Structure 1
Amino acid sequence: MHSTIPDLMRNAAGTYGEREFLRFPALSSAAPSTVPSASLSFAEADAESDRLARALAAQGVRPGDRVAVMLDNVPWWPLSWLAVLKAGAVTVPVNVRYQAADLEHVLRDSGAVATLTVEAHAPRVPGPVHLVDRLTDGPPLDISLSADNVANFQYTSGTTGFPKACLLTHDYWLRTAQVVADLIHVRDDDVLMIAQAYSYMDPQWTTLLCLLGGIPHVVLPRFSASGFWPAARENGATLTYVLGTMPLLMHKQPPSPLDRENRMRLVLCSGIAPDLHRTFEERWGAPWRELYGSTESGCDLMSAPDAADTVGTGAMGTPPPGKEVRIDEETGEILVHGTPMMLGYWNHPEATAHAFRGGWYHTGDLGVRDAMGRIRHAGRLKDTVRRGGENISCAEVESVLARHPAVLAAALVPIPDDLFGELPKAFLQLRPGHAADAGTAAAVVAHARERLARFKIPAYVEFVESFTLTPSARIEKRHLLQPGRDQRAAPAIPTEDPA
């Protein structure tokens, strides 16, 4: 295995040369005119990232410095990532949707010496900025790196609080890509398509997987439920990875006679509803297989492409080589040990010690073993509502609410209550054509009452136009509960029996 990411890039350039490596369909016309081509070969990507690395060094970036990358899904993103690493520095991926508070937190916490971006985003960035499309070349570099060098300060999604930076080494990234490449048996005619923001970890390890296999990496500008499968057809995609709300949002699109007109041979996914698993496979004509992991630990459980016996079970597979996974006997929490694994949280020694107490990484996820000994996901340890003496899994209730034909997406959060301690409140995004009124709220709650215990029924419902999503396509709940606001007051709608 290669010891560093630049080593892998150089080897791929030497091995695959002019074969296509990066493809960015439907690039925005507003992109800078000097943006690299929407298609780059392995050799071109290596040469361009070398040039950028020299330019960064000429601007004063030194080995070990942190350099933020704040870019959309354009070729500059992977080229900048590779360049920062080739300069011996550490990449700090920044979500382009960040506003003042998010952005200031990440840049201050990481100690980034500069931010690589383009003119459109530069006014929002505090501190030094390098416009990536205007960097000029510099003298040759002689940088020595090792597998244990930190490659990324990768900030966690932060659904309920400000994110923390996971310290991820070159070895972490290479092992993560390699175990997936080994699992799926990359073929010479494969094309891997991804729709997540590059600032999230998935497009980064899939980039490395494509370097390992010598195959094209197709990066969509953003996720679109209606556009995902047309893009898969147009680009001849054979492999993809989807997670969070993405599968359900695609499923809620009207069926098309073209649904099975694609080359997809494998959909890797995280967290699909077991009772929809077979439906997805039949609709789009490809096997869907679970991957389970986190930013902190990479891939922890993996379902093989031929593991048809997992369809509809919720089973998340088996640990890859180098990993052990068990369930805590007292809490039911999924615990992980082995490699790859983050070095820890930057600036958070207490959080690091807590996460690794007893020598195992505590994922915060709940798991149960089925009769075959396989682990199924059972919600988040902290993503719960404590209603009186009962614990409510937010994920369970959200799954039921999202099955109502009027609901596009749902989020359940706890709100304080003098009698019960906490009550569940549901935020709902409706599908077009449904009224955001008391009648719709009553219909959704009635749907839930038929399927859930009484104490799990939302006490309040509120409609939203849209949700703010994390880069991993999960609802960012911290934006739903503004400080000082009475969560029971309008526009919240109480159910018939909020107690």
Structure 2
Amino acid sequence: MTMTGVESVRLQRDPALGRLAQDPLIDTVVGLLTDQARRNSNAEFLRFAEGSWTFGEVDDWTSRLAHRLVDEFGVRAGDRVAIMLPNVVAWPVAWLATLKAGGVAVPVNSSYQRADLEFVLRDSGARLLVTDTARTPLVDEVRTANDDLADVRIVKTGSRDTLAQYPANRPAVAISGGTLANLQYTSGTTGFPKACMLTHDYWTQLGWICAGAADLDANDVVLTSQPFSYMDPQWNTSLCLTIGAPLVVLPRFSASGFMADVRRHRATFCYVLGSMPTLLFKQAPSTQDQDNDLRLVLCSAIPVALHAQLEQRWGAPWREIFGMTESGADLVSLPESTADVGTGRLGRPVPTKQVRVVDPQGRDVAEGESGELITSGEPMMLGYWNRPDATAQVLRDGWLHTGDVAVRETGSYRLVGRIKDMVRRGGENIASAEVERVLERDGAVVAAAVVGIADELFGEEVKAFVQLAPGVDESRATAERIITEARNQLARFKIPRYVEFVADFPRTPSERISKPVLKARAAERPGTTYDLSRSRT
């Protein structure tokens, strides 16, 4: 992809998302790196806590490591290589080297313990694991305890200096846009995760779409703080390879330090999700809040009530982008779409996608009516690794069934909840997400999770787990006040009957609350639950 290509897309700026309509000129991740190393060899590419590296340095390092993977470890096209590292530069180096060798990367959460690691290694068939000294004892334990995993070999990336004996040009392996690049495991909020099969052109198209949607170029600085094993830092990497800009990777997300890092690194763009916006907003205001270079924040699930305040506080537009690991990007609200602020609208389909809202029989519903959001087009996963039944269930007649409930409004879309994240109270279906959004509008609430619990009369009753801001009293009076406020915004049957305060929430790698783990934790170590049935009348 050349900068001319990016500029030509920009010439098509219009409400129909014309600037995203072209295909990327380079359709492999390794091709993007080769191109940037040729044209911008000395430009900064990766910035971690331990240092900074240029496009040329990373291209050289990853080529040499790729040759080592091929020559020493026998990696061949299609072989799976697991990567279990925290947010250090060795992570993207291992990823890019694996792809250059023709291998398939298998990202592994660096906090996984024995059962999780055993599952991913066994399920993926990976026989190489790139990891560090801190996690080697865990790998040894897994290898010793499982005969079928005894032959898993550990790889250390090493520095460029330790790889000097290997060639600096990438191995002569045939790689195309359709070549499998990742087995990307979903967060696994229900049972063990499934691996999405993602190709090279999945990543290049996703980087291209986000570059166009955010109107980014080589003068920008992209910042991420999510674990690199999750897909966001990976598409951020593809994004930076597309535009020739540096990627700043923080060791982890810290609500108290995030905006200071944005200022320090002069970041112009970042992506956040889950509880991150609420946690950031709950930090004490500072006179330095608007002392930053942000041009745009893309986010999934911006709190509706906080949307305008987030923009005002940090002086930059916040816009929604919607997608899944399975589908990359489906909907986006552009920086100029100021009418979307505070509406919960996700924007319009990207030009490479078609989006519909359908009933359980697959028929399109009328505008303003709720139904399942389904999507078709590119990028899209090939399917779930070794799970044809699960693939057939979610990919039907060329359409990905997201499991999200949405409504279509004047060409845009707004999420209502999840099909499987509903409380069924009597004859009413209650979207947990709707109740959670209302509870989180309360200044005392950091985050909320709404679940259904068994009830003899109604089948299920509504229970809210609530994390309070520091200093707020975890008392019945606090619970009653929060629920009383919610009564002004929700139908009576949606009001939580039960409230339990929690210090924190178990979360998936994508920073979403893991409700199965939350419910299991509450059953094992129950806290004080307030029955506020009188507050519903």
Do both share a fold (TM > 0.5)?
A: yes
CA contact (8 A) 1:277 1:288 kept: yes
1:142-153 matches, cutoff 5 A: 142-153=172-183
Following superposition, the deviation at residue 377 of structure 1 comes to: 1.6
Match of 2:306 among 273, 276, 286: 276
Secondary structure of residue in 2 paired with 1:299: coil
Q: What code does the residue aligned with 1:428 have? A: V
* Structure 1 residue 229: Cα displacement: 1.1
Tell me how far apart the structure 1 counterparts of residues 220 and 384 of structure 2 sit (CA, whole Å).
Answer: 36
Structure 1 equivalent of residue 504 of structure 2? 466
Q: How far apart, CA to CA, are the structure 2 residues paired with 1:321 and 1:484?
A: 44
> Retained in 1: the 8 A contact 2:217–2:244?
no
Aligned partner letter, 1:355: V
1:68 aligned to 2:82? yes
2:127 is the counterpart of 1:113: yes
Q: Tell me which amino acid in the other structure corresponds to 1:304.
A: L
Q: Choose 98-107 or 393-402, whichever is displaced more.
A: 98-107
Q: Which residue of 2 aligns with 1:492?
A: 529
TM-score by length of 1: 0.92
Q: Which moved more, 1:475-484 or 1:357-366?
A: 475-484
Kept in 1: contact 2:449–2:515 (CA 8 A): yes
- Match of 1:218, SS? strand
The residue aligned with 2:6 is: none
Aligned mate of 2:67, from 22, 44, 54: 54
Q: 1:497: how far off?
A: 4.3
* Whole-angstrom distance in 1 between the partners of 2:300 and 2:429: 24
- What is the letter of the counterpart of residue 169 of structure 1? T
Aligned length: 486
Q: 2: distance between equivalents of 1:490 and 1:319? A: 43
Farther off after superposition, 221-230 or 310-319: 310-319
- Write out per-residue CA displacement over residues 405-446 of structure 1, whole angstroms, 9 at most, x where no aligned residue: 332111111222232222222222222112333333333333
- Cα shift at 1:50: 1.4
Cα 1:47/1:66, change in 2 over 3 Å? same
Could you tell which deviates more after superposition, 199-208 or 437-446?
A: 437-446
For 2:438, the equivalent position in structure 1 comes to 400
Distance between the aligned counterparts of 2:89 and 2:100, measured in 1? 17
Q: Which residue of 2 aligns with 1:202?
A: 232
What CA distance in whole angstroms lies between the structure 2 residues aligned with 1:436 and 1:129? 50
Higher mean Cα deviation, 313-322 or 159-168? Answer: 313-322
Aligned: 1:348 with 2:378: no
Aligned to 1:4: 28
State the one-letter code of the partner of 2:461. L
Distance in 2, matches of 1:183 and 1:442, equals 43
- The one-character-per-residue Cα deviations of 1:2-33 (angstroms, maximum 9, x if unpaired) are 13211111111111101110011xx3xxxxxx
Q: Which residue in 2 is equivalent to 1:314?
A: 344
Answer yes or no: is 1:364 the counterpart of 2:403.
yes
CA distance in 1 between partners of 2:204 and 2:389 (Å): 28
> Amino acid of the residue matched to residue 103 of structure 1?
L
Q: Does structure 1 retain, via aligned residues, the 8 Å contact 2:501–2:527?
A: no
Q: Which residue of 2 is the match for residue 181 of structure 1?
A: 211
| Distance change in 2, residues 1:12/1:484 (3 Å) | closer
After superposition, give the CA deviation of every residue in 1:114-144 in whole Å (9 maximum; x if it has no partner).
2111111222232434242458647553211
Return the alpha-carbon distance in structure 1 between the equivalents of residues 286 and 488 of structure 2.
Answer: 31
CA distance in 2, matches of 1:56, 1:405: 52
Aligned to 2:472: 434
Using the TM superposition, give the Cα deviation of residue 314 of structure 1 relative to its aligned residue in structure 2, in angstroms.
Answer: 2.1
Shift of 1:246: 0.8
Q: Distance in 2 between matches of 1:173 and 1:228?
A: 26
Unaligned runs of 5+ in 2: 1-24, 144-151, 359-363
Identity %: 52
Say whether the 8 Å CA contact 2:446–2:469 is kept in structure 1: yes
Q: Does 1:92 align with 2:129?
A: no
The one-letter amino acid paired with 1:63 is: A
- Give the conservation status (yes or no) of the 8 Å contact 2:480–2:535: no
Displacement of 1:188 in angstroms is: 3.1
SS of equivalent residue, structure 2 residue 330: strand
- In 1, Cα distance between the equivalents of 2:524 and 2:125? 37
Gaps of 5+ in 1: 28-36
Hey, what does 2:117 align to over in structure 1? 103
1:215 partnered with 2:237: no
Is this contact kept in 1: 2:222–2:269, CA < 8 A?
Answer: yes
Secondary structure of the 1:471 match is: coil
Residue 450 of structure 1 corresponds to 488
Question: Cα distance 1:149–1:389, how it changes in 2: closer, same or farther (>3 A)?
Answer: same
Deviation at 1:484, TM superposition (A): 10
Per the alignment, do residues 326 and 145 of structure 1 end up closer, same or farther by CA in structure 2, a change over 3 Å counting? Answer: same
Q: CA 1:416–1:180 in structure 2 vs 1: closer, same or farther (change >3 Å)?
A: same
Q: Which amino acid is the alignment partner of residue 86 of structure 1?
A: K
Are 1:292 and 2:322 matched, yes or no? yes
- Aligned position for 1:34: none
Contact 1:383–1:393 (8 Å) recurs in 2: yes
The one-letter amino acid paired with 1:15 is R
2:290 aligned partner: 260
- Partner Cα distance (1:19, 1:203) in 2: 19
Q: CA 1:498 to 1:389, structure 2 compared with 1: closer, same or farther past 3 Å?
A: farther
Asked if the contact 1:88–1:145 (Cα under 8 Å) also holds between the matched residues in 2, the reply is yes
Closer, same or farther in 2 for the Cα pair 1:322/1:427, shift >3 Å?
same
- Change over 3 Å in CA distance of 1:483–1:212 after alignment to 2: closer
